[in-house]
Amino acid sequence: MAILETQELTYTYSVGTPFEKTAVDHVSLKIEEGEMIGVMGHTGSGKSTLIQHFNGLLKPTSGKVLLDGKDIWADKDKIRDVRFKVGLVFQYPEYQIFEETVYKDIAFGPKNMGLDEAEIKRRVYETAHDIGLSEELLERSPFELSGGQKRRVAIAGVMAMEPRVLILDEPTAGLDPAGRDKILDHIKSYHERTKNTILIVSHSMEDIATFADRILVMSKAKLFCCDETVKVFARADEISRIGLDVPQITRVFGELKRRGLDFGKEVYTVGYARDLLLRQLKEREVR
């Protein structure tokens, strides 16, 4: 059974006014437990509106959102429990930091869950390790940290609630390449340890190509596709036409294919391209 599912999910802003607009239009999809999914779409495609339905921040105009096969809005009094199970980290989450120490900021969510101090401490230290924050930083003010460290503190605050589904909206936005790589590496390590479901919204196909089992693409409020990463990149020309940039390495190998040099597989990471070329060169040496 899928951990998350939408059935003909539709959401319309400002219903009955001149500003009425459908942001998500009859979207049906399934997300399996333990998957790492990249979420993409051009600005205004509906991807941010979609993910806000997964933990009940928005209520569908029509259609359903199911968590473990149950409609999350069947009992609106239990929607708070849904938000503990499906954690959402907004873009630039460091602006929501407010506690006097890093420890207290990470502990805020678990404390609101009513957990005892021993369990809260375990979660804080475990999550800090996952996200690459040293124990020495836990007693410092989060406002003394670098931008990348603040971002990690904010993400850790949601991770510490141990949601079964973690959704991150542009977690690397505004960071330099080194900071971006650190965040993504720590998220991958967290996924390997917990085996929880993770959705990452990103404008960068290069970033998504390195971690996603599947890619969900939104276009003009509709689901363009939700498929295995390799199959999505096989549609590189279609993806470009809806306003998304495919990785540069994919464009290079696409051009090679058009010129008659077909490697027989879709190439979407530099590492894979390197291995593929080295393998081809070795095969030619043998011949």
CATH number at residue 147: 3.40.50.300
Phi-psi category of residue 163: left, alpha or beta, with phi > 0 → left and psi -120 to 50 → alpha: beta
273 and 173 both lie in a single domain: no
Would the pLDDT of 213 be above 80?
yes
CA angle 185, 275, 213 (to 5 degrees): 45
Q: How far apart are the first and last CA of the chain?
A: 49
Q: Which residues pair with 114 in a beta bridge?
A: none
| Boundaries of domain holding 83 | 33-60+75-242
Q: What mean pLDDT is reported for the chain?
A: 91
Residue 160, exposed/middle/buried by CB under 10 A (0-12, 13-18, 19+)?
A: buried
Selection from 146, 152, 112 nearest residue 132 by Cα:
152
pTM, two decimals, is 0.88
218 and 119 both lie in a single domain: yes
151 and 265 both lie in a single domain: no
Task: Determine the pLDDT at residue 286.
Answer: 59
8 domain-assigned: no
Task: Determine the pLDDT at residue 210.
Answer: 81
Confidence label for 144 from pLDDT (cuts 50, 70 and 90): very high
Q: What is the pLDDT of residues 256-283, one digit of tens each?
A: 778 877 776 677 777 777 877 788 777 7
pLDDT above 70 as % of the chain: 98
123 and 236 both lie in a single domain: yes
172 and 256 both lie in a single domain: no
2 domain-assigned: no
Q: How many CB atoms lie within 10 A of CB 62?
A: 11
